[in-house]
């Protein structure tokens, strides 16, 4: 398949989830492919995102597990947490995964070029003073966290640095209301830090179902996180002992060892040589794409977090697969962006798929809502007051389930299965006729009988 006019059929800039998937699949169809990466194999998800974050979530859950065990008859010395052990074991695991990605690409016949790729023209990229040409080029450089500029903002850190702190912060302030902020607040609260989360709006997790947001706020606050809405930092001062003082807009202050800003991410498009090509951007700085992820340059493509879609690893993977199959296997593949399941690994977890109640009311003339709110059996003996909330939204005329949401332990695991049913077009009647596994939380989704008044 390889052309003779160019060094490669496809050159991918960025070895994250989408870029690796596209390059590996394209190579399997006979294309000559190279991947350019200037940082680490696997991108944000593997190195400073999904993977290390989930490992830290696991670590933070043991605190409550040790406490709960006493109600089940276990006793012993008080558990002690060591930050350096977690941090260093995480680093070892990430290193292993970096090698896995390297081997994956090598085994697929993809050439890996280490360095920053910059466009010379729409068919040419320079890396470390070496030029490479390609018939097609895919930009898959992902997103990057940013901190707004304000007095003392240089003392704050982002999610990139939080995993590798030299010392565990006994007091931490997390700023932001998205899933990253919510998750890290839960992590450090669970690990034993005095944790404050600030969000400038009236309620965090904008875009999620309103009931889920409100329920999660109550449970997270009850877990020990000092959750403050309509609150924001005006300035940060560094104290003589090295600690930080956050001066809030309302005139109050908070002292902390670490201040984490998780207020958003921007497309990672700096220093790519865009001056030498004609790539159109949206107002929010993402790359405009048309059919099949094509940019305003007909041979250049873009996918993942640098476009206007959902910033989720499985979405980038699906896009990478679709692009490779379309271009190199004559399969016209499109990604279905409906009913994409997602989870927030806060404590308790949030899992969601489909429409929120608010969105469902806009789309359908009539909906029926089912709910379940209870204290899980595990906690009745363990002693925790934590509650679980489940919600199902049905389009009344068709009986089709159009939204499923949950706050509770293992919500992500449970909602993944529900997403399969929703993708298949399951109706409420199908859920009702499905036998539950008893006793489980998931069975509540097939035993909901009475609509909410």
One pLDDT digit (tens) per residue for the chain, 453 residues: 555 699 999 999 999 999 999 999 999 999 999 999 999 899 999 999 999 999 999 999 999 999 999 999 999 877 899 999 999 999 999 999 999 999 999 999 999 999 999 999 999 999 999 999 999 999 999 999 999 999 999 999 999 999 999 999 999 999 999 999 999 999 999 999 999 999 999 999 999 999 999 999 999 999 999 999 999 999 999 999 999 999 999 999 999 999 999 999 999 999 999 999 999 999 999 999 999 999 999 999 999 999 998 999 999 999 999 999 999 999 999 999 999 999 999 999 999 999 999 999 999 999 999 999 999 999 999 999 999 999 999 999 999 999 999 999 999 999 999 999 999 999 999 999 999 999 999 999 999 999 998
Does 438 participate in catalysis according to the annotation? yes
CB 309 within 8 A of CB 337: yes
In angstroms, the CA 114 to CA 107 distance is: 17
CATH of 153-263, one of 3.30.70.330, 3.40.50.300, 3.50.50.60, 1.10.510.10: 3.50.50.60
CB 182 within 8 A of CB 221: no
In angstroms, the CA 410 to CA 444 distance is: 14
> Active-site residue among 114, 123, 379, 438?
438
* Domain ranges in the chain with CATH number 3.30.390.30: 342-446
Q: Which residues pair with 127 in a beta bridge?
A: 130
Domain 8-144+266-328 - what CATH class?
alpha beta
Neighbours of 239 (CB within 10 A): 9
Tokens of 144: 């990057």
Residue 55 confidence (pLDDT): 98
E strands present in 176-331: 194-199, 226-229, 233-238, 244-248, 253-256, 258-261, 265-267, 300-302
In angstroms, the CA 316 to CA 303 distance is: 7
In angstroms, the CA 330 to CA 328 distance is: 6
In angstroms, the CA 359 to CA 397 distance is: 16
**pLDDT per position as a tens digit, 170-205:** 999 999 999 999 999 999 999 999 999 999 999 999
E strands present in 6-151: 8-13, 33-37, 111-114, 118-121, 124-127, 130-139, 143-145
Can you spell out the DSSP letters for 56-92?
Answer: HHHHHHHHHHHHHHGGGT---SPP---HHHHHHHHHH
Provide the 3-class DSSP secondary structure of residue 293.
Answer: helix
* Domain ranges in the chain with CATH number 3.50.50.60: 8-144+266-328, 153-263
Can you spell out the DSSP letters for 161-190?
Answer: HHTT-SS--SEEEEE-SSHHHHHHHHHHHH
What's this model's pTM, rounded to 2 decimal places? 0.95
Q: Which residues pair with 287 in a beta bridge?
A: 281
37-68 burial: b if 16+ Cβ within 10 Å, else e = bbbbbbbbbbbbbbbbbebbbebbbebbeeeb
Residue with tokens 């930009």: 139
CB 403 within 8 A of CB 356: yes
Write down the CATH superfamily of domain 342-446.
FAD/NAD-linked reductase, C-terminal dimerisation domain (3.30.390.30)
């Amino acid at each position: 398949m390889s052309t003779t006019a160019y060094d490669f059929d496809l050159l991918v800039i960025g070895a994250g989830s989408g870029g690796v998937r596209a390059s590996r699949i394209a190579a399997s169809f006979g294309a000559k492919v190279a991947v350019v990466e200037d940082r680490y194999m696997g991108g944000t998800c593997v190195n400073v995102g999904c993977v290390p974050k989930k490992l830290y979530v696991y670590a933070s859950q043991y605190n409550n597990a040790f406490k709960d065990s006493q109600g089940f008859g276990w006793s012993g010395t008080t558990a002690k947490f060591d930050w350096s052990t977690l941090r260093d074991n995480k680093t070892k695991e990430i290193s292993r995964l970096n090698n896995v990605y390297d081997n994956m690409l090598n085994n697929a016949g993809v050439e890996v070029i280490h360095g920053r790729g910059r466009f010379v023209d729409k068919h040419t990229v320079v890396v470390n003073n070496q030029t490479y040409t390609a018939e097609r080029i895919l930009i898959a450089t992902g997103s990057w966290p940013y901190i707004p500029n304000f007095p003392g903002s240089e003392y704050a850190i982002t999610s990139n640095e939080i995993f590798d702190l030299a010392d565990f912060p006994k007091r931490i302030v997390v700023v932001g209301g998205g899933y990253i902020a919510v998750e890290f607040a839960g992590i450090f609260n669970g690990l034993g830090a005095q944790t404050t989360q600030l969000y400038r709006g009236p309620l965090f997790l904008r875009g999620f179902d309103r009931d889920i947001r409100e329920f999660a706020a109550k449970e997270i606050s009850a877990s020990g996180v000092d959750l403050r809405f309509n609150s924001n930092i005006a300035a940060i001062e560094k104290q003589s002992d090295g600690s930080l003082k956050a001066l809030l807009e309302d005139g109050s202050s908070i002292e902390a060892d670490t201040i984490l800003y998780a207020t958003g991410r921007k497309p990672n498009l700096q220093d790519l040589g865009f001056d030498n090509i004609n790539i159109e951007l949206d107002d929010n700085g993402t790359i405009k794409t048309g059919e099949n992820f094509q940019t305003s340059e007909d041979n250049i493509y873009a996918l993942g977090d640098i476009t206007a879609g959902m910033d989720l690893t499985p979405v980038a993977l699906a896009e990478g697969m679709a692009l490779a199959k379309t271009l190199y296997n004559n399969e016209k593949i499109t990604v279905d962006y409906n009913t994409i399941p997602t989870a927030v690994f806060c404590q308790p977890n949030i899992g969601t798929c489909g429409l929120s109640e608010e969105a469902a009311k806009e789309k359908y003339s009539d909906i029926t809502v089912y709910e379940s709110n209870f204290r899980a059996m595990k906690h009745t003996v363990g002693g925790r007051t934590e509650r679980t909330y489940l919600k199902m939204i049905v389009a009344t005329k068709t009986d089709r389930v159009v939204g499923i949401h949950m706050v509770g332990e293992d919500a992500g695991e449970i909602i993944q299965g529900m997403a399969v049913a929703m993708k298949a077009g399951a109706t409420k009647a199908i859920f009702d006729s499905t036998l539950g596994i008893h006793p489980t939380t998931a069975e509540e989704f097939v035993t909901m009988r009475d609509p909410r008044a």
